[in-house]
Structure 1
């Protein structure tokens, strides 16, 4: 049975789980995602992340927006995380990316809906994500879907300087 999130969208476009044959197209998307956030990307990072996505024992999971002929238009990576105050695992959306020329047509929303459905199926009480403060286009989408939190995020580098 196909879930709502995996049913075709207009024009034969569908949201589906990442598949082994998506590797080349996924890499192109993921490189653009990293470039958008000005994060360095190399073959080692790509290979490791891809291996995580395809490893059923690893928590990282992936969904893609694909055309009928297999062209990828967007991606979402997500995973469970322990939420100690609830005593449950919740969901974390690590990466969401839609090709710039495809934005504004609802594909990002559909990816989040597909991840949300997967989270419901896994018993998560909520799905959490972060974005850059200046990512205005994404924040318009997010503000229409979810409640912004009051939490401030910090990163402590664990490099050799400690």
Structure 2
């Protein structure tokens, strides 16, 4: 098995895995991303997202897509893991752990304060896996999100600027 930074030629398979993840997370029609958009975001002039892939048995079996966040209290960056996915038939081979270890190594090497991510509350297999690595849930925090019509409405109103 090899963990390496994603390459342009990996973009179609990464998008395929993103679709597979959406199916697993019970949102099969939610993905609007395209090969062109993903390639531009990963490999454009100023990329703000990054990805690693896991190659095993001659094929990409999983990926981690991430970006930098920032801790105002620590005064340093961290890594926010947006997606981690391993094909079902490739699980239990250490691929997910190797992808997460790569991100942890990157954070340590660069002096970042943390690696963090969200997991759906019903996803007990992943929660158990993350806890086995020493990751702890942040139960004191609740994620909020503006999206869709609420985002458009709030972002378009003159009161939003006040």
TM above 0.5, yes or no, is yes
Out of 104, 112, 123, the position equivalent to 1:116 is: 104
Q: Report the Cα distance in structure 1 between the residues aligned to 2:9 and 2:106, rounded to whole angstroms.
A: 21
**Which of 42, 51, 56 is 1:53 aligned to?**
42
Q: Does the alignment pair 1:20 with 2:8? A: yes
Residues 135 and 56 of structure 1: is their aligned pair in 2 closer, same or farther, counting only changes over 3 Å? farther
Q: What SS class does the counterpart of residue 152 from structure 2 fall into?
A: coil
Deviations 1:118-151 (A, max 9, x none): 2222221111111100111111111112121122
| Superposed displacement of residue 46, structure 1 | 4.1
Q: Which runs of 4+ in 1 moved over 6 A?
A: none
- Higher RCO (CA < 8 A, seq sep 6+): 1
Which residue in the other structure is 1:154 paired with? 144
**In 1, Cα distance between equivalents of 2:38 and 2:110:** 22
TM-score w.r.t. the length of structure 2 is: 0.82
Matched residues in 2 for 1:131 and 1:45: separation?
24
What SS does the aligned partner of 1:15 have?
A: strand
Shift of 1:56: 6.2
CA distance in 2, matches of 1:116, 1:123: 10
Matched, 1:144 2:132: yes
Number of equivalenced pairs: 148
Distance 1:122 1:25 in 2: 28
Q: Distance in 2 between matches of 1:125 and 1:52?
A: 24
Aligned to 1:4: none
Q: 2:30 aligned with 1:40, yes or no?
A: yes
Aligned-residue Cα RMSD (Å) equals 1.8
Which runs of no fewer than 5 residues in structure 2 stay unpaired? Answer: 155-162
Which structure: larger Rg? 2
Structure 1 residue 161, shift from structure 2 partner = 3.6
